[in-house]
Copies of this chain bind each other. A is one copy, B any other.
Amino acid sequence: MLLRLDFSSQLPIYRQIRDQIVVGIASGELAPGEKLPAIRALAEQSGVNMMTVSKAYTLLKQEGLITTDRRGGTVVAGSPESGELGAHSLEGLRLIAAEARLSGLSEEDFLLLCREFYCEGGGET
């Protein structure tokens, strides 16, 4: 688990961490049951405060993507599989589609991009 953090981004660090773990899980890089790095370890290795990583983990726990095993450690949970995107993500997608259109990206190219990201890392290329 290697994090690429942008300390000058508007997106809070804990959010960047959360996002990259989400992508990691979706891509299969982090398999269900796999142990995540200890909060302190990830913090040190990333040059970030412990509490920042903790916040990211807390978020992911609330989303049901990871759980902390009381016997020590944090592990990837089996996916919740709600079957639909959250309202925020939906709005985000609508906006990005609009931006794609405005930037002159053709429908074809846009859908290719979407497909590429969806399939990224996950078997059925």
Docked pose: A110 CA to B110 CA in angstroms: 13
- Knowing A12-B70, A70-B13, A102-B79 are in contact, say whether A119-B107 is a contact too (CB < 8 A): yes
Within the complex, which residue of B7, B25, B79, B113 is in contact with A70, where a contact is CB–CB below 8 Å? Answer: B7
Within the complex, which residue of B79, B81, B86, B120 is in contact with A97, where a contact is CB–CB below 8 Å? Answer: B120
Most chain B CB inside 10 Å of its own CB: which residue of A9, A67, A102: A102
* Contact of A45 with B by CB under 8 A: no
Docked pose: A21 CA to B18 CA in angstroms: 29
Q: In the complex, are the beta carbons of B105 and A83 less than 8 A apart? A: yes
- Knowing A69-B8, A120-B97 are in contact, say whether A102-B25 is a contact too (CB < 8 A): yes
Binding site for B on A (CB under 8 A): 7-9, 12-13, 19, 22-23, 25-27, 48, 62, 65, 67-71, 79-86, 89-105, 107, 110-111, 113-115, 117-120, 122, 124-125
